[in-house]
A and B are shown apart, each in its own frame.
Chain A
Amino acid sequence: MATSAAVEELLRRGLLWQGQAMPEQQQQQVVASGWRELNQYLAGGWPVGSVNELQLSQRFSGELALLLPLIKQQESTTVWLNPPALPYAAGLDYQQLDLRNQLVIQEADAKLAVWALEQAIKHPAVGLVLAWCDELTAVQVRRLQAAAEAAQNLVFILTTSSTTEARSYVTRVQLHGVKVKSVAAPTHLHASNERSTSVSYVPILQFALRKRRSGWPLADLECAIPDYLPRWRQRSGRRLTA
């Protein structure tokens, strides 16, 4: 279907929006997510100045590993609001993360928490905000999005709710946990002396993009997140004696 000059014009002025192909000139400013497949789905990475939602089917199933590359490359401060457990200094330091740039806020009162979230987003010295909260109203999300855009900050709301109601998030991701795929690899390590096939296992994050700026929602996506996690090994359930 030949595109006529008029359509071309519309495209150029960004009024026409195409399903698949990413219009080049609309190259939004993005921050690489650190993972190859995810960057493809997000047309290069997380858009700058955006509030994004991560819906967790279950906590602690790869979400921090997913965000770690972002946190590591931050020169300015990353704010953690109401993390579900203690961000463990020894573990973060093992991954060479600069502890001095982390600021953790714990505020049980939801209203005050949102106020704090907004102050953090607006503050020039903050580069990335991770917030764990259950339910944000559309109004609150819109306000946060406006603040993020103004401050050109990157915000992630991690929640266990699976609501599908419309929110003005830029990206909405549904995480379905990790699956392990076996891959042939050079010799592999076994502490006990029993010979085992030289096979290695790669953790694959299952997720769905329910909303993204750069295109249609996509389901049943996969993204390998091998770094930062201990290696897997296929054991026939035999427990190593102490």
Chain B
Amino acid sequence: MNKWVYVHFPHLLLDYQLALQPPELTDAPQILVTSQQGQRLVHQATAAALQQGVRLQMAEVLASTLVTHLQIRDYHQQQEQRVLQQLAQLVYQDVAQLVLVPPQGLLCEVASLVRLHGGYPNLISYLQQRLQQWPLRYQLSCGYSPLSARLLAQAQQGVINENPAVIQQALAELPITACGFTPSQQQRLQEVGMQRLGQLMQVPRAELGRRFGKALVLYMAELQGELPSPQHYYQPPLSFQQYLDLLTEIPSWPQLLFPLKRLLQQAEAFLQGHQQSTRMLLIKAHHRHGQPTQVRVAFAHPVWQQQDLLQLSQLHLERQQLVQPVLGLTVVIQQTEPRVASNQALLTETKQSETNIDSLVSLLQARLGTDKVHRITLHQHWLPEQRGQLQAWQRAQAVQAAGQHSSLRVKRPLWLLPEPQPIQVQDWDLHWGPEHLATGWWLSEPVQRDYFIGVDKNQRQAWLFKDQQGWYLHGWFS
């Protein structure tokens, strides 16, 4: 009985992207391109493109001359990997023994499922029906060994049959070029006249070994299923979800703190069990009717202890109001990350028991809102107002010290006004300047300003500039 099924998705990434596009776009000819040794070749193509003569591995330049307004995008391996993961999650609901074969294949061990689905044909049709949910072009094939199923599927010669003999017969017909051989192996086989896999199968293993080396002998053994092929099966990712039923209807958040504390206790146990911490907490308050109100609590740094979770959630909840009384409470944690041992300095002075400023930031952001807490950041930009900015505080933000561009470390005021203020130049006594600033010509509004250092009647030193429109105050030196 052929206990392996292989599903091959020739245009996985492209089909997935098509599914996300609006319908009228999907019939436009599109291709994904990869570059091998400096040559850009077609990797995947839509049906429309194939129909107008585009072939896989064809040069991109030729393809774009063949099809006039052809949409060309770059193929990305990791994106396709992620799509395969999502697909595996879907198929996992039906097939426990599932193996990911990047970049475009799924291998299923189905022997155990035949009885469940009552016979081989029902099993296969069930699988096909499950794959229909995704508009992906695919090729399904059975096989008595993983390699045999894979070869038939990838060569678009899928065989759906229980009997191994039928598989054997289909394999014999496969051309040498579609058997996964290396180019040098393939050339040598062709030079001795082997065009079909069947011819190779007739050669006794001893002769095969003498002529083509050990690699081919192992290949044949794997193909015939004589070698045990250990596969590592697919494991789904980790997440936590806990629901608590409240005995009485609770109208406002503060009274909800007590049940929340219990739920967060279990969350801490889950995180501690897996040595994980999280940055994102989802709290759902279920009402008698209608959708549950959802409160998303984000932390600036990964936490796992219950009192941290509670303190910060409390601050978030105070800012929300409850529209209806609450019957039940759910706490969900989706993303977790491995816990990083924070380097506790051994001999901590009296003051810095917790050197990390982030806990203050989390506290302030929770109470005041994330847009109230800033860093002072320096940017490589020629426009003064872009050069120094206030940016919302993120934890792992590499602050770019201007140190290394010594050429950019020039005399500048300590303060900058958010908006330059028009002034009367007569009130000012100009001490230094002009510094000509005239660049950014390649952008829509290039700028031409002459900057001066001027002093007002109260001896306050300021940063002034003149442009086509007139004189402005832009910053103060103290």
Contacts and interface: CB of A to CB of B under 8 A. Distances in A.
Interface residues of A, number: 61
Interface in B385-443: 387-390, 393, 399, 401-402, 409-418, 425, 429-434
Interface string A207-242: 000000000000000000000111111010101101
Contacts of B399: 99-100
Given A91-B475, A103-B357, A242 B411 contact: no
Contacts of B409: 93-94
A87 B387 CA distance: 12
Contacts of A119: 360, 363-364
B376 interface: yes
A88 B434 contact: no
A200 B350 CA distance: 47
Interface in A172-208: 177-180, 191, 203
Interface string A50-83: 0000000010111111101000000011000001
A33 interface: no
B376 A123 contact: no
Nearest to A85: B415
B351 interface: yes
Contacts of B429: 235, 237, 239
The listed residue with most A CB atoms (<10 A of its CB), out of B354, B374, B418, is: B374
Contacts of B351: 124, 151-152
B417 A230 contact: no
Which of B354, B431, B432, B433 has its CB near the most chain A CB atoms (within 10 A)?
A: B431
B414 A89 contact: no
B352 A90 contact: no
- A interface, over-half SS: mixed
Nearest to A61: B460
Nearest to A66: B478
Contacts of B364: 105, 116, 119-120
A60 B478 contact: yes
A95 interface: yes
B460 A178 contact: yes
A83 to B, nearest CB: 8
A81 B42 CA distance: 57
A50 to B, nearest CB: 15
Contacts of B301: none
Nearest to B432: A230
Contacts of B376: 87, 89, 92, 99, 102, 104
Contacts of A228: 414, 478
Contacts of A106: 372, 374, 390
Contact of A62 (B375, B475, B478): B478
Contact of B460 (A120, A123, A177): A177
Given A93-B401, A99-B378, A229 B461 contact: yes
B16 interface: no
Chain B at the A interface: mostly helix, strand, loop or mixed?
mixed
B468 interface: no
A223 to B, nearest CB: 13
Given A104-B375, A106-B372, A203-B459, A95 B414 contact: yes
A116 B372 CA distance: 11
Interface string B346-388: 0000111111110111011001100011111111000010011
Nearest to A235: B429
A91 B355 contact: no
Contacts of A93: 378, 401-402, 409, 412
A204 to B, nearest CB: 10
Given A125-B354, A125-B355, A230-B461, A94 B412 contact: yes
A107 interface: yes
B287 interface: no
A104 B378 contact: no
B455 interface: yes
A115 interface: yes
B356 to A, nearest CB: 6
B458 interface: yes
A86 interface: yes
B477 interface: yes
A84 B415 CA distance: 9
Nearest to A123: B360
B450 interface: yes
B432 A191 contact: yes
Contacts of B359: 123, 125
Nearest to B348: A124
Contacts of B378: 89-90, 93, 99
Nearest to B361: A103
A104 B401 contact: no
A177 B374 CA distance: 30
A70 to B, nearest CB: 14
A104 B374 contact: yes
A105 B392 CA distance: 10
A21 interface: no
A126 B458 CA distance: 34
B388 A90 contact: yes
A126 to B, nearest CB: 7
B268 to A, nearest CB: 24
B151 interface: no
B415 A229 contact: no
Contact of B368 (A83, A94, A107): A107
A95 B401 CA distance: 12
Contacts of B55: none
A169 to B, nearest CB: 22
A2 interface: no
Given A119-B364, A125-B352, A125-B355, A91 B415 contact: yes
B364 to A, nearest CB: 6
Nearest to A106: B372
Contact of A85 (B354, B357, B417): B417
B411 A230 contact: yes
Nearest to B475: A88
B466 interface: yes
Given A76-B357, A235-B431, A240-B430, 7 more contacts: A91-B477, A102-B375, A105-B372, A116-B368, A124-B355, A203-B459, A240-B452
9 A-B pairs with least C-beta separation: A89-B388, A60-B476, A88-B416, A90-B412, A65-B478, A91-B412, A89-B378, A125-B357, A123-B360
23 contacts: A61-B460, A62-B478, A84-B415, A85-B416, A86-B388, A86-B389, A89-B378, A89-B389, A90-B402, A91-B412, A91-B414, A91-B415, A91-B477, A94-B409, A99-B377, A99-B378, A112-B368, A116-B368, A125-B354, A180-B459, A230-B453, A232-B461, A237-B429
